[in-house]
Structure 1
Amino acid sequence: MKKTAHIISHSHWDREWYLPFEQHRYYFIKLMNNLIEQFKKEGNAFQSFHLDGQTVLLEDYFVVHPENREIIKQLIEEKKLYIGPWYVLQDAFLTSSEANVRNLLIGMNDTKAYGHVSKIGYFPDTFGIYGQAPQLLKQAGIDTAAFGRGVKPTGFNNTVSDTPNFESPFSEMIWKSPDGSSVLGILFANWYSNGNEIPVDEEEAKVYWDKKLEDAEKYASTNQLLFMNGCDHQPLQKTIPQAIETATKLFPDYTFKHSSFDEYTEALKGSLPEKLQVIEGELRNQRTDGWSTLVNTASSRIYLKQWNNHCQTLLEKVAEPLAAMNYLANGTYPREYIRFMWKSLMKNHPHDSICGCSVDEVHREMVTRFETVAQMGEVFVEEKAAELAQTIDTSKTPAGGIPLVVMNTTGWNKQEVITQTVDLDKVYFSQMHFEEIPAYLQEKEMSGYKLVDDEGKAVAFQLESPTIEFGYDLPDDQFRQPFFAKRANLAFYAEDIPSFGYKTFYLVPVEHPADQPQAPSPEKSKEMENEYVHVLFHEDGTYDLTHKVTGNAFHSLGLYEDTGDIGNEYMFKEAKGHAATTTKGVPAEFAFLEKNALRTVLEFQHTLSIPVSADGRLEIERNKLIWHKEREAGRSSEMTKLTLRTIVTLEKGMKGPAFKLFIDNQATDHRLRVLFPTELQTDTHKADSIFEIVTRPNIPEKEWENPSFCHHQSRFASLADDKMGLTVATDGLQEYEILPEDGTIAVTVLRSTAELGDWGYFPTPEAQCQGMQTAEWQVLPHENDVIFSKAYVDAYQYKVPLMVIQTSAHEGTLPGTHQFVNWEPTGLVWTSMKMAEERDDVIMRWFNPAGTKENLKAAINDDYQSYKSTILEEKTTESTNQYEVKDYEIITLGFQPTRQERER
């Protein structure tokens, strides 16, 4: 039987990388205009073009050429131009679970306007892929995935190794998720440029195809051979019809076809062997030498990951649930604006963007985008929270009292210490001449206060001395209303705030206020304690952490370690001949900043002497394009100071202390980590990944040569035995390593490099991250592992604060305390609450982190009926009382309004 060579024309289009976005867009406009002309000129001789699996490129093009929208639409309808299914080709590990879903959901919804979607899970250059991807794809109706990385070694300049020991002997395989979902996996075994720039000249074509056919046949399990005619930012090859004619003439035993993924995968599925290699879970290049995994992009320009974590959390854990709760109260949901916020954020999610492995101009623009998303999200949350507060009946507020609504937008009940600025009094400019207001407020006698909850129960609180500050309101029906307010910071412990709900408190004036707890006098001992943990600090800033429930303790946690880094934005390589510098035995300066019944805040500071940079050999190696694996540079003999200021906070109700590190980074070419030696002897550990708390080995495969064995994490990494465990939850710190000799969790808090690291020498001095940098994490001791103990609840809620809205006394339709959605707190992990994209159904999502079945019961009220859905919000089952959730299953429920509710 003849073998068929499927030639798919494409261009892998990083929106920004070694050039900034607008410069890459300039060339993309040329590509698209050339494509239109090519289709007009060649007709059916030029069959199709694959537009890199992302729909955002159409938006980029139509900004410049809106007049060509109908032409492009026609090409897509005629299956000449293939788009989707993603919105952007995002990095898989460095974006959240919900961001990965929204990328697919929005991308596939966008394709509806154009008539056809390329239903292939397209990951051409993704830097490793999470293990639950097959389950997500299957739920989206996609049964095939194509990828370039994660299975076979890929090195400098995207060179592909012919190492025989990678996970699959074929370029075709079965890829299975932990829940058992599987897709056909297509590996670009010879990269996604293996059919690039095909010669028309017969002599050149003979040499070309002799090599290319042999390479493809080496890995193909069928007679269907794939040749990707393109590469990164590849201009259109206009001579493809002529090149195919030449190939057909030279190799009559082969059928050469200008093809598409639709045609190729259909032919491939019809010729697959009965048995293919099954690849399970994550694709992370574990059966390689470890030098080309690109895992260290997780620590490149950490400030980008911190920004991204803030914006993702703001949208998916606050803005969307709040808007859905507001819909249930008021019947309105601004889905277009929410979609706009998501699209704005996802433009920072392509792999060369969020991975921090582009030129400096790219990442400067990313910070501006993040700032924009944060501005949008913050005003959105403020407005929606105020709207929701207006529907709450606070009419029974005591005279002169201030209602404070505490809102919980997470999937678990929550309690925490709240600090909120409260306007005790205010005078508008319309009431008094503005010059007189500050003095009037300052001299006005202030009463005492008490704080009570919705049932009238007194709540302990602290109220600071007030200040006079300017402010303004923005009414819906009036011009800006300026005022001066007497403001004070209020702190109290908000207990048992219901998931997807709120609780109202009242700050009430009284003649004889209860005495507020006074801060105790400073102590010489450096200890912190609440009802859950005890922390004892040593002179060098390390600490012993005791879990009071079990009495188990961890010792000497929190050591800082600095090493030289002669790698690049993609990969870490430790400098030669210089031992790590640590804070072990380096005395720290301690001071209590706050110590009262609600919280203890301790500050300590180190000053380390470290090499100012790498030695002079590194610059020579960079200019010679010596790959990081082969570099021999050491560290400079010139020294500089590295100042580390750590603030530790332990509040009432916290399951472990929280840390914020301020790094005054004056050095270059180095990496800073914080170490947590657990002394636990285990073979595996767990980490938060995409819809999975994944189990990973502590020691790499036998093929691994790299001394470093780093991993990605989303929100936490955890080590445990059958008695005790330690989980480190982080805020945008997405790289960690397990040091197996003493069970140390090592979390990277800063990495300073100075070059992009691929396709030549692209200096990136801003990747050194000099100046003041910050890092935040929380340390959670617990019984057994992170799943059994449900310590993941605290880890996922870290950095998702309760919201407080000061409102007025008014009538409303909702009670003072309310929960919009009730669900039994099973062993599931909640990830999302939103409204459906195309109808007024509430959509909620969870995943099962364990290998045991769970039952899910969830309800809104009698006006809504639940049903099971896919991630694309397509109904799959009718309403039942409960839903069985399989091992590791991602489950989405929709809540559909009944006819009465719709008519209302």
Structure 2
Amino acid sequence: MEKTAHIISHSHWDREWYLPFEKHRYYFIKLMNNLIEQFKKEGNNFKSFHLDGQTVLLEDYFAVHPENREIVKQLIEEKKLYIGPWYVLQDAFLTSSEANIRNLQIGLHDTKSYGHASKIGYFPDTFGIYGQAPQILKQAGIDTAAFGRGVKPTGFNNTVSDTPNFESPYSEMVWKAPDGSSVLGILFANWYSNGNEIPVDEEEAKTFWDKKLQDAEKYASTNQLLFMNGCDHQPLQKNIPQAIETAAELYPDYTFKHSSFDEYTEALKSSLPEKLQVIEGELRNQRTDGWSTLVNTASSRIYLKQWNNLCQTLLEKTAEPLAAMNLLAGGTYPREYIRFMWKSLMKNHPHDSICGCSVDEVHREMVTRFETVSQMGDVFVKEKAVELAEMIDTSETPEGGIPLVVINTTGWEKNDVITEVVDLDKVYFSEMHFEKIPVYLQEKETSNYKLIDDQGKTIEYQLDEPVIEFGYDLPDDKFRQPFFAKRSKLSFFADGIPSFGYKTYYLVPAEATVQQVEQKDLETQIDSIEMENEYVHLQFHEDGSYDLMHKESGESFHRLGIYEDTGDIGNEYMFKEAKGHAAITTKGMAAEFTFLERSTLRTVLEFTQTLSIPVSADDRLAIERNQLIWHKEREAGRSSELTTIKLHTVVTLAKGMKGPVFKLTIDNKASDHRLRVLFPTGLKTETHKADSIFEIVTRPNTPEIEWENPSFCHHQQRFSSLSDGQMGLTVATDGLQEYEILKEDGTIAVTVLRSSAELGDWGYFPTPEAQCLGIQTAEWQVLPHEKDVIQSQAFVDAYQFKVPLVVVEPSIHKGVWPKTHQFVQSEANGLAWSSMKVAEDRDDVMIRWFNPAEEKASLQASIKDYQSYKSTILEERTNQTEDLYEAEKYEIITLGFYK
């Protein structure tokens, strides 16, 4: 049978990596200009070019050459230049579920303005891929995925493994998601550079093709062979038409074709064998030796992951649903600004960016981008919250009272202790000379207050001593309005705030201060350091570890929270433990304890430990780095010189919390090391669960037999969890995305700091800032529960961690909405809520959940005066309308609502 060699010209373009963004952009502009000239010069002899699956590159180019927009648009319309479907080639595991969806939504939205999208799920260099990718692609109308990692026989560094036990004998396979959705998977078994720099010279071409054809045929299931003509930041091969002519003359039994993915996949599908290997779920290189899985990028520069989690949570869990609630209340939905915020954030999501595996200049620029997104999100949420609050009727506020609207932007009812600064009194500069205002406010007697809810019920609260502070308003219809205000921190337990809704409270004058929370004595003996609320009890030991009791069951977990430090002689991509040095832990090391707050509202405890550890790796590591010794082969140990690092831990247990929250502050003075916090559960189980992309995935505690790496770390989104079926322990985190299950006592080990000093790929690129010296922080919550994290629905608390209620102090006015309201009525029956937004191209409200369980689940949701329908991740309006929807096992389900 005659074979066809499909040659696809491309250049895999990391926007930033071993060079910072602007340096890479300089070379990308050269590539694009050469490409435009090539199409002009060669005409139909140069068939097409694949622009790496990401539309952001066009924005990068048009920022410099806007005059070429129409030329590029024409090339796309003529299917010579292929773009999309993504906005950026982001990392799959380190960006949130909704970020992965926005990446596809915004990429496809952008392709509409250019005329054509490449409908292939393109993951050329993604560092492993989540198991729900086939379902996401199928919902987007994409039935084929191409990827370079995650399935044997692909090896790291563009090499092919010849060991047995391939997951697939072919480079083509069926890739199936947990819900049963499947796509055709195309593995770059010889990497995405297997057709790079094809010779024109006959002798060179003969040598080239003899090897390349054999390599491709080794794994091809059909007579359609794929050759990727390009590589990382590869300049355009201008003589590819001539190179193809040479190949055709040398090999008359083959058809050589300058092709595209559209043409290649069409030919491939028509010639596939009846049976292909089925690959299920996550692609994480499970069947390799484990030395080059790149999972340790999850702990490289953890501060980036923390920034990203903050920004993602701000956009998808607060800004978008708040804006959607505004629309339902009668306001507007500024989708262009929301899309702009997402684009700004996603420029930090490419795999070499968010993974923390680039040079220092890249990651400095990323922090600036994160700060920018945070600023945009903060002002957006503030303004949208005020807009919503100004539509609420607060006219019944008692005289002299202060209304407070508490808004819940999540898909679950929320109970939380709120601490909010309130303005007890305020004088504008327009009312009094500004120099006199502070004295006036200081001398003016402060009222006594009581706090009441919307039903008039008195609520226990805490009001701190007021202070005088400057502030200003920015009205829509006049110049800025500066003022001084008498301000105080108000804390209270907000109970039963409805999902997608709000509740109004009032701080009102009273004859005497009432219902202030009871303060407890802060002094305590070291042998009686305890914390307790209605759900859990903690007993701390001298070394800072603690026993955690789940009150309902009476079961306890013991000696949680030991810190462990090991040497790290790896790089930004990979952890490698220093040779010959045992881990250093805080076990048995006395801690200094202080209670910061003890009241009926919350207890806050801090403790400090000083850990003496080696100052760095030993001198051998510098030699190994300079000689480009691969991490696997390194022999360096830890320095004999010691330094100390301070570990400062603050523990908070508030009313309503299902488990304590910890914040660790590290004064890191050491290099080349890793710090983890350990949770020895004592549970006997072969598997565990972890939060992933639209999935609470089950993973084995021990690796496959091919695995040689002593470390078996994993990615997580929000949490990891162990359960023996009777009891479970879940650790929810804030941007801590690497964990490992240790054999000892069923221990969950979460990485809180990793220090390295080189990029670690194809050369020696020093990255001293990856050592993360100085002050670093980490936050997590420990949740004991019965059964597992799904059956107990402990995942609700884990997902709610670090998603705040929004509090507004509105004016007193007539409004069209009642004091308490829920915009969306829903019964999700064990489903996990993911997002609430408005559609990309119309004013339909879109709400998404996913089913984390194997059993079907029912979903009932309604909005007054709106019709509902079942949609997809691309938000198409359908005729599938029900009173009660069913979510199949592991299904991602999106409902749309329209008037």
Which TM class, normalised by the smaller chain length?
over 0.9
Instruction: Name the TM-score, length of structure 2 as normaliser.
Output: 0.99
Counterparts of 2:260 and 2:880, CA distance in 1:
37
Number of residue pairs matched? 896
Residue identity in the other structure for 2:306: Q
CA offset at residue 446 of structure 1? 1.2
CA offset at residue 642 of structure 1? 1.2
List aligned pairs for 1:414-425, cutoff 5 A.
414-425=414-425
- Paired residue for 2:712? 709
CA offset at residue 602 of structure 1? 0.3
CA offset at residue 803 of structure 1? 1.2
Q: Is the 8 A contact 1:296 1:735 kept in 2?
A: yes
List aligned pairs for 1:496-895, cutoff 5 A.
496-514=496-514, 516-521=516-521, 522-524=523-525, 525-861=528-864, 863-895=865-897
Counterparts of 1:797 and 1:26, CA distance in 2:
43
- Paired residue for 1:3? 3
- Compared with structure 1, are the counterparts of its residues 225 and 462 closer, same or farther at alpha carbon in structure 2 (3 Å cutoff)? same
SS of aligned partner of 1:434: coil
SS of aligned partner of 1:400: coil
Q: Is the 8 A contact 2:647 2:664 kept in 1?
A: yes
SS of aligned partner of 1:579: coil
Q: Percent identity?
A: 81
SS of aligned partner of 1:67: helix
Counterparts of 1:163 and 1:754, CA distance in 2:
33
SS of aligned partner of 1:502: strand
SS of aligned partner of 2:766: coil
CA offset at residue 742 of structure 1? 1.2
Give deviations 1:633-666, integer Å, cap 9, x for gaps: 0000000001100000000000000000000000
- Paired residue for 1:448? 448
CA offset at residue 251 of structure 1? 0.6
- Paired residue for 1:159? 159
CA offset at residue 112 of structure 1? 0.5
Q: Which runs of 4+ in 1 moved over 6 A?
A: none
Residue identity in the other structure for 1:47: K
CA offset at residue 568 of structure 1? 0.3
Q: Is the 8 A contact 1:412 1:825 kept in 2?
A: no
Counterparts of 2:622 and 2:160, CA distance in 1:
27
CA offset at residue 876 of structure 1? 3.4
Residue identity in the other structure for 2:226: L
List aligned pairs for 1:285-300, cutoff 5 A.
285-300=285-300
Q: Is the 8 A contact 1:870 1:876 kept in 2?
A: no
Counterparts of 1:877 and 1:656, CA distance in 2:
44
Counterparts of 2:541 and 2:249, CA distance in 1:
79
- Paired residue for 1:257? 257
SS of aligned partner of 2:664: strand
Residue identity in the other structure for 1:392: I
User: Which of 144-153 and 547-556 deviates more?
Assistant: 144-153
SS of aligned partner of 1:857: strand
Does 1:397 find its partner at 2:400? no
User: Which of 159-168 and 251-260 deviates more?
Assistant: 159-168
SS of aligned partner of 1:856: strand
CA offset at residue 510 of structure 1? 1.1
Q: Is the 8 A contact 1:202 1:250 kept in 2?
A: yes
CA offset at residue 520 of structure 1? 1.4
Counterparts of 2:761 and 2:306, CA distance in 1:
25
Give deviations 1:13-41, integer Å, cap 9, x for gaps: 00000000000000000000000000000
Counterparts of 1:9 and 1:550, CA distance in 2:
62
Give deviations 1:460-511, integer Å, cap 9, x for gaps: 0011110000000000011110000000000000000000000000000112
CA offset at residue 158 of structure 1? 3.4
- Paired residue for 1:310? 310
Q: Is the 8 A contact 2:458 2:515 kept in 1?
A: no
User: Which of 580-589 and 323-332 deviates more?
Assistant: 323-332
Give deviations 1:359-386, integer Å, cap 9, x for gaps: 0000000000000000000000000000
Does 1:338 find its partner at 2:338? yes
SS of aligned partner of 2:459: coil
Counterparts of 1:868 and 1:709, CA distance in 2:
40
- Compared with structure 1, are the counterparts of its residues 328 and 560 closer, same or farther at alpha carbon in structure 2 (3 Å cutoff)? same
Q: Is the 8 A contact 2:153 2:189 kept in 1?
A: no
Counterparts of 1:205 and 1:835, CA distance in 2:
54
Residue identity in the other structure for 2:442: Q
Counterparts of 1:469 and 1:278, CA distance in 2:
64
SS of aligned partner of 1:742: helix
SS of aligned partner of 1:877: coil
List aligned pairs for 1:228-247, cutoff 5 A.
228-247=228-247
Q: Once superposed, what is the RMSD of the aligned Cα atoms?
A: 0.8
- Paired residue for 2:469? 469
SS of aligned partner of 1:41: helix
Give deviations 1:187-232, integer Å, cap 9, x for gaps: 0000000000000000000000000000000000000000000000
Residue identity in the other structure for 2:671: T
Counterparts of 2:228 and 2:518, CA distance in 1:
71
Q: Is the 8 A contact 2:461 2:515 kept in 1?
A: no
Does 1:75 find its partner at 2:75? yes
Residue identity in the other structure for 1:206: K
User: Which of 474-483 and 511-520 deviates more?
Assistant: 511-520
Q: Is the 8 A contact 1:154 1:292 kept in 2?
A: no
- Paired residue for 1:900? none
- Paired residue for 1:126? 126
Counterparts of 2:222 and 2:812, CA distance in 1:
73
SS of aligned partner of 1:208: helix
Instruction: Name the TM-score, length of structure 1 as normaliser.
Output: 0.99
- Paired residue for 2:407? 407
Which stretches in structure 1 are left out of the alignment for 5+ residues?
Answer: 898-904
SS of aligned partner of 2:458: coil
Counterparts of 1:87 and 1:162, CA distance in 2:
35
Counterparts of 1:757 and 1:875, CA distance in 2:
47
CA offset at residue 878 of structure 1? 2.9
SS of aligned partner of 1:178: coil
CA offset at residue 447 of structure 1? 1.3
Q: Is the 8 A contact 1:166 1:288 kept in 2?
A: no
Counterparts of 1:162 and 1:83, CA distance in 2:
34
CA offset at residue 175 of structure 1? 0.1
Q: Is the 8 A contact 2:405 2:505 kept in 1?
A: yes
Q: Is the 8 A contact 2:828 2:858 kept in 1?
A: no
Give deviations 1:754-811, integer Å, cap 9, x for gaps: 0000011000000000000000000000000000000000000000011110112110
Which stretches in structure 2 are left out of the alignment for 5+ residues?
Answer: none
Residue identity in the other structure for 2:423: D
Q: Is the 8 A contact 1:650 1:658 kept in 2?
A: yes
Residue identity in the other structure for 2:51: L
Counterparts of 1:722 and 1:766, CA distance in 2:
43
SS of aligned partner of 1:645: strand
Does 1:433 find its partner at 2:436? no
Give deviations 1:232-266, integer Å, cap 9, x for gaps: 00000001000000000001110000000000000
Counterparts of 1:23 and 1:843, CA distance in 2:
40
- Paired residue for 1:270? 270
User: Which of 727-736 and 867-876 deviates more?
Assistant: 867-876
Counterparts of 1:475 and 1:868, CA distance in 2:
41
- Paired residue for 2:147? 147
CA offset at residue 877 of structure 1? 3.5
